[in-house]
């Protein structure tokens, strides 16, 4: 290494100083990027993660509040009235004598009472 620095006319003191300066400039660049990275993570959290968590909590609350007689809309587009509740499944009446068993998480929304007419 010494012969290489002598070849290019760079003394050992200058080479050591250059290395230290390079280390300081690298750490300075990282320190200047740190606030930007923190802001990016904060924006990511508040725009993506937090709203998704709120939607999941609302969905879970809706699933827990399902009761017999509720009019529901499934994620597949079926409209029906809940006729039986089970642990992970619902039996939904979609026509006069037609019942379908669906998973609880397939319920997209609970409709206002009287929205769905069975045609009884």
> Partners of 82 in the beta sheet?
92
CA-closest candidate to residue 109, choices 83, 71, 57? 71
Please, which pLDDT band fits residue 1 given cuts at 50, 70 and 90?
low
pLDDT at 23: 58
| Top-confidence residue, 120 or 92 | 92
Alpha helices in the chain (DSSP H): 2-7, 12-44, 50-64
Tell me how far apart the alpha carbons of residues 92 and 116 are, in angstroms, rounded to a whole number. 12
* Segment 67-90, tens digit of pLDDT: 999 999 999 999 999 999 988 899
CA-closest candidate to residue 104, choices 69, 63, 46, 60? 63
Please, which pLDDT band fits residue 27 given cuts at 50, 70 and 90?
confident
The ranges assigned to domains in the chain are 2-62, 67-111
* Pair 107, 90: CB distance under 8 Å: yes
- Which position has the token pair 């006729």? 83
> Partners of 91 in the beta sheet?
84, 101
Q: Is the pLDDT of residue 58 over 60?
A: yes
Tell me how far apart the alpha carbons of residues 49 and 36 are, in angstroms, rounded to a whole number. 19
What mean pLDDT is predicted for residues 55-65? 90
What mean pLDDT is predicted for residues 91-115? 91
67-111 folds as SH3 type barrels. (2.30.30)
Q: What is the mean pLDDT of the chain?
A: 82
């Amino acid at each position: 290494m010494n012969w290489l620095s002598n070849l290019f006319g760079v003394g050992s003191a200058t080479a050591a100083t250059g290395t230290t300066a390079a280390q300081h400039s690298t750490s300075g660049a990282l320190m200047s990027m740190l606030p930007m990275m923190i802001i990016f993570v904060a924006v990511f959290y508040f725009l993506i993660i937090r709203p998704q968590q709120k939607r999941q909590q609302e969905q879970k609350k809706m699933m827990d509040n399902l009761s017999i007689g509720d009019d529901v809309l499934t994620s597949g587009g079926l409209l029906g009235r809940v006729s039986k509740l089970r642990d992970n499944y619902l039996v939904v009446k979609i026509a006069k004598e037609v019942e379908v068993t669906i998973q609880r998480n397939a319920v997209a929304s609970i409709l206002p009472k009287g929205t769905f007419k069975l045609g009884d």
